[in-house]
Structure 1
Amino acid sequence: MLNMNFNQRIVIHTQPQPWLPSPAQGVWRKPLEREAKESGHTTSIVKYEAGSQFATHKHPLGEEIFVLEGVFSDENGDYPAGTYLRHPPGSQHAPFSQTGCVIFVKLNQFDPRDLEHLRINTQQTPWLPGIGGLQVMPLHEFEHQHTALVKWPKGERFQPHRHFGGEEILVLSGKFQDEFGEYPRHTWIRSPHMSGHFPFVEEETIILVKTGHLPISAM
């Protein structure tokens, strides 16, 4: 098991982390949280070398993907950088990349009732106004769980707040900050239920945010 104590705040600067081999040749991983070696609750950064592929596999409790670099593909289509994908519980596919790609992947973390299948190209989706100078791009919601992109303009400061059901952030560009530290591109932050912080940025920054999905027994 890796980082499966959801009462614990976790910060991983993923860029300097080593790539570890997966069962598929040419596919590499940086595990962030993992219930078991090849099954269960898992969050990872995954790299496909050009021409690599992964065998057909099922998603017992769903798969959530954000394409960070390159073009990710499966038998249903090609997904360029900036694509957000949701494969519901019980789905399956055979992923590959002809030119190479890097993706952020969350496995087996859906509610069994959450059956929405999504393919969103965020490069072609409009931003909506958020609080203050923030811009928001909602991607998915189910009950009290919410996933979105948030764009922070240079110098923006948000009010101190707490996270019901926790908060998970992947910094996509720029540098995210709060009173606890600085988080450059591709930093992964997981904060437990009812944790709080006072976030801000000094440069334009885009983050992928998921809230309300962690156990509420934490804290």
Structure 2
Amino acid sequence: MEINARFDEPVLTHTDQIDWVPSPMAGVDRRMLDRIGDEVARATSIVRYAKGSSFPEHTHSGGEEFIVLEGVFQDEHGDYPAGTYIRNPVGTHHVPGSEPGCTIFVNLWQFDPADQEQMSVDLNSLKVEPDPNRPGVSTAAIAERDYEKVSLEVWEANTEVVLTDTGGFELLILDGTLRHKDAEYARHDWIRWPAGKEAKFTSGGQGARVWIKRGHLTNITAPVK
């Protein structure tokens, strides 16, 4: 299966316009944003757990990172409310589920196997600092690696922001709105931009809070089956 598998092309997605697709487990559905592979896949998705649903124990052969967008995600390590960002490196395993139900944004099979730091970050309490090079933008680093940089950014109202990275970038709108050309994107919309290309956005009247990952879109491979 291939979905938005041309990484040399921009992808701008109104995620609420994508159909939910059932997963192999009852009560767990997903909106597929990009994908290379079938059930084992390099994938970016929004996943919805119905109340009381879960997956059986499994190992992350390619690692995973996710943001809890709504509800409470749960596994044997704890409960993670909306606003939590989690990184589970290659080789980790758990039993994911949600008694109250939840929705998460998740990236699969996108880790360097040597990156073994497991982390959980509360994005709602993360302190952002003004970026001296970009007026109207404040930022906080979440995870900085040789192969990628993950950060939280807050854009003040009506701020023009130009983004580019030699390794490409993707962003998820956590709150607020932003505009690209004649289209407006809102909460939980997702954008992926090719390596070395420039994109210009303008935040809306209430500003925007965005999760951004940079530098990871130049070495795209399908998972090993």
Shorter-normalised TM-score: what interval? over 0.9
Residues 118-154 of structure 1 deviation map (CA, whole Å, 9 limit, x = unaligned): 1011122222222312121211111141111111111
2:17 is equivalent to residue 2 of structure 1 = no
Structure 1 counterpart of 2:91: 90
Q: For 1:150 and 1:182, how far apart are their aligned partners in 2?
A: 18
User: After the TM superposition, which residues 1-219 of structure 1 pair with which residues of structure 2 at under 5 Å, given as runs?
Assistant: 1-130=2-131, 131-158=134-161, 160-179=162-181, 181-203=183-205, 204-215=207-218
Offset of residue 216 of structure 1 = 6.6
**Structure 2 letter corresponding to 1:192:** P
Q: For 1:122 and 1:186, how far apart are their aligned partners in 2?
A: 15
Q: Cα distance 1:161–1:23, how it changes in 2: closer, same or farther (>3 A)?
A: closer
Q: For 1:16 and 1:162, how far apart are their aligned partners in 2?
A: 26
Give RMSD over aligned pairs: 1.5
Q: What are the ranges of 5 or more consecutive residues in structure 1 without an aligned counterpart?
A: none
Q: For 2:182 and 2:197, how far apart are their aligned partners in 1?
A: 12
Q: For 2:9 and 2:116, how far apart are their aligned partners in 1?
A: 29
Q: For 2:9 and 2:163, how far apart are their aligned partners in 1?
A: 18
Determine helix, strand or coil for the equivalent of 1:35: strand
Q: For 2:157 and 2:60, how far apart are their aligned partners in 1?
A: 39
Structure 1 counterpart of 2:223: none
Q: For 2:178 and 2:115, how far apart are their aligned partners in 1?
A: 30
Q: For 1:161 and 1:208, how far apart are their aligned partners in 2?
A: 13
4+ runs of 1 displaced by more than 6 Å?
Answer: none
**Structure 1 letter corresponding to 2:218:** P
Offset of residue 14 of structure 1 = 0.5
The 8 Å contact of residues 53 and 94 in structure 1, kept in 2 or not, is answered as yes
Taking only the aligned residue pairs, the percentage that are identical comes to 39
**Structure 2 letter corresponding to 1:43:** T
The 8 Å contact of residues 167 and 214 in structure 1, kept in 2 or not, is answered as yes
Q: Cα distance 1:144–1:36, how it changes in 2: closer, same or farther (>3 A)?
A: closer
The 8 Å contact of residues 164 and 216 in structure 1, kept in 2 or not, is answered as no
Determine helix, strand or coil for the equivalent of 2:41: coil
Offset of residue 161 of structure 1 = 4.5
Determine helix, strand or coil for the equivalent of 2:198: strand
Report the number of matched residues: 216
The 8 Å contact of residues 60 and 90 in structure 1, kept in 2 or not, is answered as yes
Offset of residue 180 of structure 1 = 6.2
**Structure 1 letter corresponding to 2:184:** E
**Structure 2 letter corresponding to 1:200:** T
Q: Cα distance 1:176–1:29, how it changes in 2: closer, same or farther (>3 A)?
A: same
Q: For 2:170 and 2:163, how far apart are their aligned partners in 1?
A: 14
Q: For 1:152 and 1:187, how far apart are their aligned partners in 2?
A: 16
